[in-house]
Amino acid sequence: MSRINEIGIRLFKELFKDKRTLAMIFLVPILIMWLMSVIFSSNNSTNVNLGTIGLNNGIRTELKNMDNVKLKNYDNKSQAKKAMNDGKVDVYVTQKNNNLDVTYSNTDSSKTNLSKMGIQNSVTKNTIKQLSNKIKSLTITNQMLKKSNNVIIPQSKSNQQKAFHVHNHYVYGDSNTNYFSTLVPIMMAFFVFMFVFLISGMALLKERTAGTLDRVLATPVRRSEIILGYLEAYGLLSILQTIVIVLITVWLLNVEIVGSILSVIVINVLVALVALTAGLLVSTLAKSEFQMVQFIPVIVVPQIFFSGIIPFDSLPNWLNTVSHILPLRYATDAQSAIVFNGKGLTDVWMDILILVIFAVLLTILNIIGLKRYRKV
Q: Which helix (H) or strand (E) holds 52?
A: strand 48-53
Instruction: Kindly report, residue by residue over 207-230, the tens digit of the pLDDT.
Output: 777 777 767 767 777 878 778 888
Partners of 168 in beta bridges: 102
Q: Are 71 and 135 in contact (CB under 8 A)?
A: no
Instruction: Kindly report, residue by residue over 167-184, the tens digit of the pLDDT.
Output: 888 888 777 777 777 787
Give the strand pairing for 91-96 and 99-104. antiparallel
Q: Are 98 and 76 in contact (CB under 8 A)?
A: no
> Hey, how many other C-beta atoms are within 10 angstroms of the C-beta on 183?
16
Question: What does the domain layout of the chain look like in residue ranges?
Answer: 48-170, 178-373
How far is Cα 99 from Cα 166, in angstroms, rounded to an integer?
6
Task: Look up residue 66 and give its DSSP letter.
Answer: S
CATH 3.30.70 fits 48-170, yes or no: no
Q: Are 331 and 355 in contact (CB under 8 A)?
A: yes
E-strand ranges in 82-173 read 91-96, 99-104, 165-170
pLDDT in the model for residue 40: 65
What pTM, to 2 d.p., does this model score?
0.75
pLDDT in the model for residue 351: 93
pLDDT in the model for residue 355: 94
Q: What is the mean pLDDT of each run of 10 residues along the chain (376 residues)?
A: 70 69 70 70 72 82 80 86 84 84 84 84 78 73 62 49 76 77 82 85 74 72 80 83 84 81 91 89 77 78 79 75 86 88 89 94 86 61
How far is Cα 140 from Cα 44, in angstroms, rounded to an integer?
48
pLDDT in the model for residue 42: 60
How far is Cα 331 from Cα 345, in angstroms, rounded to an integer?
12
Residue 264: Cβ-neighbour burial (10 angstroms; 0-12, 13-18, 19+)? buried
Instruction: Kindly report, residue by residue over 349-366, the tens digit of the pLDDT.
Output: 999 999 999 999 998 888
Q: Are 275 and 197 in contact (CB under 8 A)?
A: yes
pLDDT in the model for residue 147: 63
| DSSP 3-state of 122 | helix
Nearest Cα residue to 329 out of 349, 352, 307, 362: 307
Distance, C-alpha 179 to centroid of its chain: 12
How far is Cα 192 from Cα 196, in angstroms, rounded to an integer?
6
> Hey, how many other C-beta atoms are within 10 angstroms of the C-beta on 110?
12
